[in-house]
Amino acid sequence: MTIQIDDAAAEPGAVPADFTAIHPGPSGGDQWYGHPRQLARLFTTEAMERFGYYGMRALLTLYLAQHFLFSDTTTTGIYGGFTALVYLTPLIGGLLADRYLGSKRSVKFGAIMMSLGYLVLCFSSTGGAAKPFATIDGQRYDVTVQGTGEARQQFITQDGRQLLIKGNEDKTVSLLGTDGQEVRKIASGGFVPGGERAALFTFLLLSGLSLVTIGNGFFKPNISTIVGSLYKAGDQRKDAGFTIFYMGINLGSLFSQILCPLLAVGMGSWGGLGWWAGFGLAAAGMAVSWMLFQFDGGKLDGYGDRPAGADSSKDIMIYVGALLAIPVIYLLFGNLMNYVKPEAGQGIVGYIATLPIMGKIMFGSFLVAVPAIMIWSWMKGTKQEFQMMLAAMVLITFNTVFWTLFEQAGSSLTLFADRNTDMSVFGLFSITAGQTQFFNAFFIVALAPLFSMMWNGLARRGMEPTIPIKFGVALVGVGLGFLFLVWGAQFAGPDFKVGLWWLAGLYLIHSIAELCISPVGLSMITKLSIARIVGLMMGVWFLSIAVAQYVAGVVAQVASVETVGGQVTNLKVSLETYVGVFQTIGMIAVGIGALLLLLSWPLKQLMHGVK
């Protein structure tokens, strides 16, 4: 398994790697900004694919919480499991392309699967939202909703009286009469909100996520392979070519994270067209990505073809196998949906024993793989090789911590934006919670060229920081981003909402941190790994990112806030909960980053000159 790595990736799953035997491809001929003309088509294809994926991702958490009325624990659990599988399935998709399909067929098949997945998500919203209810002392009451936005109120009917539901600061719930007087006070934990969901539309939701997960596994690693095949071995333009290609990731995500939420939930006084429209736009973007490949006019002939000697008769088996994998992924999502956190006091053993199936798989694989590889390196490698592998494993572990915290963007930070952020932009108009995710893509596009120039300038002077120092700075940065938002929370208004620019500031700091760690990770793996197991180490790298995505969902569950009908019962409690969690993880991240900075010198020695 041949692996070529570019160090300009702009996201942890960007996979700037060649997982197939590379077609060396001509570097001359028709040019596009000094690069092979085919790069333009691949750039646009990737931009449209990321347009679909990040547009869907900007909606997913809010869709689960507001449309399906899942609790915060279930919402963030499903989201974390989904993103974990998205970063894990490319290992299988890359291997199948390497052995049988070739990159081009894999990309086309993956594009079809993902587009169908977004369409299924679109249809999952057509049956109407889940119906809210509440269970009080074992008795169920239907919840009715009146008003919208800030004026939205929720009621239950008891003994013929309509009572307003009001959450209190001590986490009790009061039921108020029409005169505003408290009729009944329910102790903390005695009021259990829920939602009645149609089985068909829940089935469509999980099926859509399963299709996207599998399609991503075929698409994501293999389009990068084709980019690599545009350049002959030793072509100095390859790094710059990958940099241009990965700019498409951020451009696609930038626009979709504005447009998909706009269509789904609107902006300002306009209520949007509905969730179906946002997912439909994501499906359209993915369909355009497929068409760019399917109808390439012969421009990609000779690139990403089937490996020499591969048996084409196995194609149908692979496609059928992918379809048969849908129920497997579906069951994993169903297990996450039905997960109930263990009661306090069971300890770490009790917690691990009650983890969902996906959690057991993720943690088990990682905890077995890391020591096993280190034991093998000790027995089979030289002293220097073992030390370099040890450095790689240490950095992989710290990298997992970074992405666990950074990936709060799509879960807890999006819910915080929806509940405790004033979304007004200079008083001119308001944006939606899903649209706040565009800040990261915008800052990456704006700052990446500046960072590239900065690193090059420091390198010419022999002052460029080592990989461990960059990793340490990134961890400190992600912690400071959370602490910046915590600082801003003290200026929240009487409505317990923080100004939008404090959240934008967090994303700015996080984007700077990302640029310190993401571009060097994959390159670091190939430089530090023993040559005989580079492919295996790359698998561990992606496994660590998948684990980080899953744990990010677990961390977001800690910030769970009680909701009724998708709406928090008390904004003050909500703000205090988020601030408490963000402060804790912010301080932990700064501490872990400082530890890595202290370890940077011994790690540098273990790396034996690798930069």
Q: What is the rounded radius of gyration, in angstroms, for the C-alpha atoms of the chain?
A: 25
Q: Which residue has the higher pLDDT, 526 or 559?
A: 559
pLDDT at residue 29 in the model:
54
Highest mean pLDDT among 64-73, 263-272, 281-290, 305-314: 281-290
Tokens, residue 196: 């009645």
**Chain centroid offset of residue 366 CA:** 19
Half-sphere exposure of 351 (CA within 13 A, CB side): 6
The pLDDT value recorded for residue 16 is 39
Pairwise CA distance, residues 302 & 326, whole Å = 32
Q: Is pLDDT larger for residue 88 or for residue 236?
A: 88
Dump pLDDT digits (tens) for 404-434. Answer: 999 999 899 999 999 999 999 988 888 999 9
DSSP states of 236-298 as a string? TTHHHHHHHHHHHHHHHHHHHHHHHHHHHH-BTTB--S-HHHHHHHHHHHHHHHHHHHHT-TT
Q: Is the pLDDT of residue 21 over 50?
A: no
Average pLDDT, the chain: 85
Nearest C-alpha neighbor of 314 from the set 100, 99, 103: 100
Between strands 173-176 and 161-167, the pairing is antiparallel
3-class SS at 183? strand
Which of the four pLDDT bands, split at 50, 70 and 90, describes residue 15? Answer: very low
pLDDT score for 22: 36
Reading the block at residue 330, the tokens are 């579906």
Token pair, residue 469, equals: 């120092």
Q: What is the amino acid identity at position 603? A: L
pLDDT surpassing 90 at residue 585: yes
Query: Considering only 50-64, 190-204, 482-496, 497-511, which range has the smallest mean pLDDT?
Result: 190-204
Q: Tell me the pLDDT band of 87, cut-offs 50, 70 and 90.
A: confident
Task: Identify whether the C-beta of residue 394 lies closer than 8 Å to the C-beta of residue 51.
Answer: no
Whether residue 499 contacts residue 508, with contact meaning beta carbons closer than 8 Å, is answered with: no
The pLDDT, as a whole number, for residue 276 is: 95
Of the candidate ranges 183-197, 238-252, 474-488, 533-547, the one whose mean pLDDT is the lowest: 238-252
- Residue 18 pLDDT > 60: no
Strands 498-499 and 421-422: parallel
What is the crossing angle of helices 467-489 and 500-528, to 10°? Answer: 160
Q: Is-contact 304 104, C-beta < 8 A?
A: yes
Is it the case that residue 32 has pLDDT exceeding 80? no
Q: Say which residue, 583 or 301, is predicted with more confidence.
A: 583
389/41 Cα distance (integer angstroms):
38
- Following DSSP, what letter does each residue of 500-557 receive, concatenated? HHHHHHHHHHHHHHHHHHHHHHHHHHHHHS-GGGHHHHHHHHHHHHHHHHHHHHHHHH
Tell me, rounded to whole angstroms, the distance of Cα 132 from its chain centroid: 28
Is residue 11 pLDDT above 80, yes or no? no
Helix (H/G/I), strand (E/B), else coil: 178: coil
Task: Indicate the pLDDT class of residue 12, thresholds 50, 70 and 90.
Answer: low
Residue 497 to residue 377: CA distance in whole angstroms: 52
Cα 231 to Cα 23: distance, rounded to the nearest angstrom? 9
Higher pLDDT, 333 or 366: 333
Average pLDDT over residues 297-301: 84
Task: Give the CB-side neighbour count of residue 286, counting CA atoms within 13 A.
Answer: 31
State the SS3 of 71-132: CHHHHHHHHHHHHHHHHHCHHHHHHHHHHHHCHHHHHHHHHHHHHHHHHHHHHHCCCCCCEE
Are 24 and 32 spatial neighbours (Cβ–Cβ below 8 Å)? no
Triad 7, 253, 10: Cα angle to 5°: 10
- What pLDDT does residue 14 have? 46
Report d(CA 603, CA 48) in Å as an integer: 40
340 or 43: which leads in pLDDT? 43
Region 235-264: mean pLDDT is 82
All structural domains of the chain: 30-130+199-298+315-340 (1.20.1250.20), 131-196 (no CATH), 355-611 (1.20.1250.20)
pLDDT of residue 500 exceeding 60: yes
pLDDT higher than threshold 70 for residue 349: no
Neighbours of 496 (CB within 10 A): 17
**Of the candidates 471, 573, 554, which has an alpha carbon nearest to the alpha carbon of residue 77?**
554
Query: Tens of pLDDT along 143-195?
Result: 888 876 666 788 888 888 888 988 888 888 888 888 888 888 888 878 888 88
Tokens 């120039």 -> residue = 453
Per-residue pLDDT at 400 exceeds 90: yes
For residue 315 the two structure tokens come to 């194609």
Dist. CA 369–CA 389, nearest whole Å: 13
